[in-house]
Amino acid sequence: MSAPADAGKSKIPLLCGTVLISEVLVIYFAALTGYGLRPVSLGWLLAGASVLALLCLVAAALLPRRRGQNRPGILLGWIAQVLITAGGFIMPSMFFVGAVFAVLWGVAVYLGRRMDRELTEWGG
């Protein structure tokens, strides 16, 4: 019998990638809200949203693919959480959005690592 096709694959990209891609959508919805509220000029708003979205996409692409692999995706994800929460200084509602996603990110990282550790222990 051969090993399953996903033997050794990390669960982190599935969990953390979902959070990061969801954040990209929320960032652009927040930019649309900012367009209506006009806290800063439209150019700055779109530039900031694009940089944050790009950071989230790069972090998702750099998440560890194999169990035990060290890649910078998790660190970049934490940096994205801090920057999104700091967006609350421009639009106060982003403090709440950033806090919610920071908790989701922390839970995804924790559970992803836990699942990887348990699958490795079970030999899966």
Span 6-26, pLDDT tens digits? 668 999 999 999 999 999 999
Domain hosting residue 17, numbered range: 12-63+71-112
**Residue 119 covered by a domain:** no
**Residue 121 covered by a domain:** no
Q: How far is CA 99 from CA 23, 35, 44, 104, in A?
A: 12, 22, 23, 9
**Residue 34 covered by a domain:** yes
The pTM (predicted TM-score) of the whole model is 0.89
**Residue 103 covered by a domain:** yes
**Residue 118 covered by a domain:** no
Instruction: Inform me whether the pLDDT recorded for 123 exceeds 90.
Output: no
Which phi and psi angles does 9 have, rounded to 5°?
A: -75, 140
**Residue 120 covered by a domain:** no
**Section 61-74 average pLDDT:** 92
What would the pLDDT profile of 73-115 be if each residue is shown by its tens digit? 999 999 999 999 999 999 999 999 999 999 999 999 999 999 9
39 confidence band (pLDDT: 50, 70, 90) = confident
**Residue 54 covered by a domain:** yes
What is the number of domains present in the chain? 1
**Residue 117 covered by a domain:** no
Q: What is the mean pLDDT of the chain?
A: 92
Quickly tell me which residue has 């790069």 as its tokens.
58
**Section 43-49 average pLDDT:** 93
